[in-house]
Amino acid sequence: MKKAVSIFSILIILASCSKDKDPVYEETVLFSEEFTTVGNWIPTPEQANYTPGTNCYRIEDGMLKLTFDHSLNDCGCGWVGAKMNTTVSNHPNKKNIGVRIKLNQGLFQEVLLGIPSQSGSAYSNEIDSKFQLELGGFNLTIPSSDYGKVPQGNTVNPWLNRYPGKSFEVIHENNGNVTFTIDGEEFSKKYINCYFFDSESSNLEMEFRLGHQPEFAPRTDQLWVEKIEIYTWDGPRPE
């Protein structure tokens, strides 16, 4: 009887050790921005004789506030934006990268119109409300311009290639799988540009851009950003 109890105890211990070795999903934040200070962000277009006015570019109330309207002073010719450049000290050399963006106002959209050029094919930006990120070998653009291109001679649809929502997340897994969600609902990854190439760089660049051409005036666009988070993880992702 004692021998049976001893064997049973050993089995419990072995099972416990095996359980401890099972990989557990654990996130590591690489970068987080909640716009409590100006930080490394600078207004764009970045020109020696021009700075966007505060009615077009502000960091306040825990938000980056971009507003574009041709009737506003100091909004630039066709767009305003914000960009930053920094380094991420704990950037791992692996391809598990996630990006979360929380918007307070606005949406993501890019529409381009085909125009003649000497090379035979070129596009001009008609409507912009987009986000671009590069971290080492990880590159992301929301949205992809592929679904916003209008051939020369066609009328531009102002509702083309629009992605409204409050919470955006892009997940790039080590096996190359990409998941794109808006407010928790999954959308096709074809609506974004997301890829990874091997790089040991820890440089991080991000930019938001907002604007439209005069033919869409009168029109006021807003892109108010509450938070950006970039993270990596270990272990299997939860279903």
217: its two tokens: 């005036």
Say what percent of the chain tops pLDDT 70.
Answer: 87
Q: What is the pTM of this model?
A: 0.88
Q: Which amino acid is at 40?
A: N
Instruction: Identify the band that residue 237 occupies on the pLDDT scale cut at 50, 70 and 90.
Output: confident
Q: Helix, strand or coil for residue 11? A: helix
pLDDT at residue 17, rounded to an integer: 54
Q: Quick one: which H or E segment has residue 179?
A: strand 178-182
pLDDT at residue 200, rounded to an integer: 77
Query: Mean pLDDT across the chain, nearest whole number?
Result: 88
Evaluate if residue 184 carries a pLDDT over 90.
yes
pLDDT in tens, 106-133: 999 999 999 876 665 688 999 999 999 9
pLDDT in tens, 61-83: 999 999 999 998 888 778 999 99
Q: What is the largest CA-CA distance in the chain?
A: 92
pLDDT at residue 38, rounded to an integer: 92
d(CA 105, CA 28): 28
| DSSP codes joined into one string, 113-176 | EEE--TTS-EEEEEEEEEEEEEETTEEEEES-GGGSEE-TTSPP-TTTTEEE-SEEEEEE-TTS
d(CA 45, CA 77): 9
Pair type for strands 149-150 and 107-115? parallel
pLDDT in tens, 132-166: 999 988 999 999 999 999 998 899 999 999 999 99
d(CA 60, CA 38): 9
Which range has the top average pLDDT, 88-102, 181-195, 197-211? 181-195
pLDDT at residue 152, rounded to an integer: 86
pLDDT in tens, 30-49: 999 999 999 999 999 887 66
pLDDT at residue 206, rounded to an integer: 97
pLDDT in tens, 164-175: 999 999 999 988
pLDDT at residue 77, rounded to an integer: 75
